[in-house]
């Protein structure tokens, strides 16, 4: 199955979005780099949410990229460890708006990106060196426990990287180990954003992204393998239900 070619209007909307995105990122990146270390963490997070809001609503009104959310009643009011599918950049911004304040577990190299990385550093993410192996997991668990104790939730993409629609990568153990050691519940989040905003793609396609919030998964007394298995079972079943509808779903082939 071949993908449809984007129209001139789709290219134009994507161009406008990228212009807004770059200006927005430079402004908030510099603002957070200067102020983020001087103001309370929740204020820095509030500034970052404004950056997300501008980008998400530019996509909505300029590119026609809408969304619908299932399971809003499952959104917790207490700290959780979020296990989210990762297909594009869209969900990293949208979930920061939708869910309670969160700290991301990220690749350390993201902090080297000009403007974006400078602002991200002020958000105090858990930045790990994936090549460090067990040491990286131990670092994530130690810092994750501290953030949870401070009232933050933790956002983890258990597959570790952006994955093409229709595909699944191995679920890494770090997030499940953190959940097992702390007993904090896991909240699974599925979506099909990659079918409208593909990774490494200039074009942003119009349509409606579906986001599904699952029920919290209790972790107390469970092994990391058990936690990962429960989260994976729900996430992959839900992806099978909502996937395959967007203009870039053919990439799964």
What CATH number does residue 225 fall under?
A: 3.40.1130
Query: What sign does the CA torsion over 14, 20, 23, 24 have?
Result: negative
| pLDDT computed for residue 186 by the predictor | 98
In a domain, 166, yes or no: yes
Do the domain assignments include residue 42? yes
Average pLDDT along the chain, 253 residues, taken 10 residues at a time = 76 97 96 90 93 98 98 97 97 96 89 89 84 81 94 95 93 95 97 94 96 98 97 98 89 43
Q: Name the nearest CA neighbour of 125 among 100, 144, 149.
A: 144
Phi and psi at residue 215, to the nearest 5°? -75, 150
Residue 149 inside a domain? The answer is yes
- Provide the number of structural domains found in the chain: 1
What residues make up the domain containing 201? 8-252
**Per-residue pLDDT, 127:** 86
pLDDT reported for residue 124: 87
Distance between CA atoms of residues 96 and 82, nearest Å: 11
Domain contains 2: no
Closest CA to 194 of 150, 127, 123, 243: 243
1 part of a folded domain: no
Could you tell me if residue 237 is inside a domain? yes
pLDDT of 158: 95
Task: Please give the pLDDT value at position 250.
Answer: 55
């Amino acid at each position: 199955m071949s993908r449809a070619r984007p129209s001139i209007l789709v290219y134009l909307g994507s161009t406008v979005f990228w212009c807004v995105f770059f200006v927005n990122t430079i402004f908030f990146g510099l603002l957070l780099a200067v102020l983020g270390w001087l103001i309370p963490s929740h204020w820095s997070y509030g500034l970052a949410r404004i950056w997300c809001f501008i980008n998400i609503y530019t996509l909505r009104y300029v590119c026609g990229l809408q969304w619908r959310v299932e399971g809003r009643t499952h959104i917790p009011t207490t700290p959780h460890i979020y296990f989210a599918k990762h297909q594009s950049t869209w969900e990293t911004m949208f979930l920061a708006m939708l869910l309670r304040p969160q700290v991301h577990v990220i690749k350390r190299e993201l902090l080297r990106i000009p403007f974006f990385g400078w602002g991200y550093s002020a958000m105090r993410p858990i930045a790990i060196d994936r090549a460090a192996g067990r040491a990286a997991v131990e670092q994530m668990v130690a810092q994750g426990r501290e953030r949870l104790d401070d009232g933050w939730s933790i956002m983890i993409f258990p597959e570790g990287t952006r994955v093409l629609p229709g595909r699944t990568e191995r679920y890494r153990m770090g997030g499940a180990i953190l959940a097992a050691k702390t007993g904090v519940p896991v909240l699974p989040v599925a979506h099909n954003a990659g079918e409208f905003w593909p990774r490494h793609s200039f074009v942003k396609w119009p349509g409606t992204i579906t986001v599904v919030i699952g029920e919290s998964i209790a972790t107390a007394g469970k092994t990391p393998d058990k936690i990962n298995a429960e989260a994976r079972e729900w996430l992959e079943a839900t992806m099978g239900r909502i996937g395959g509808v967007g203009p870039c779903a053919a990439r799964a082939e």
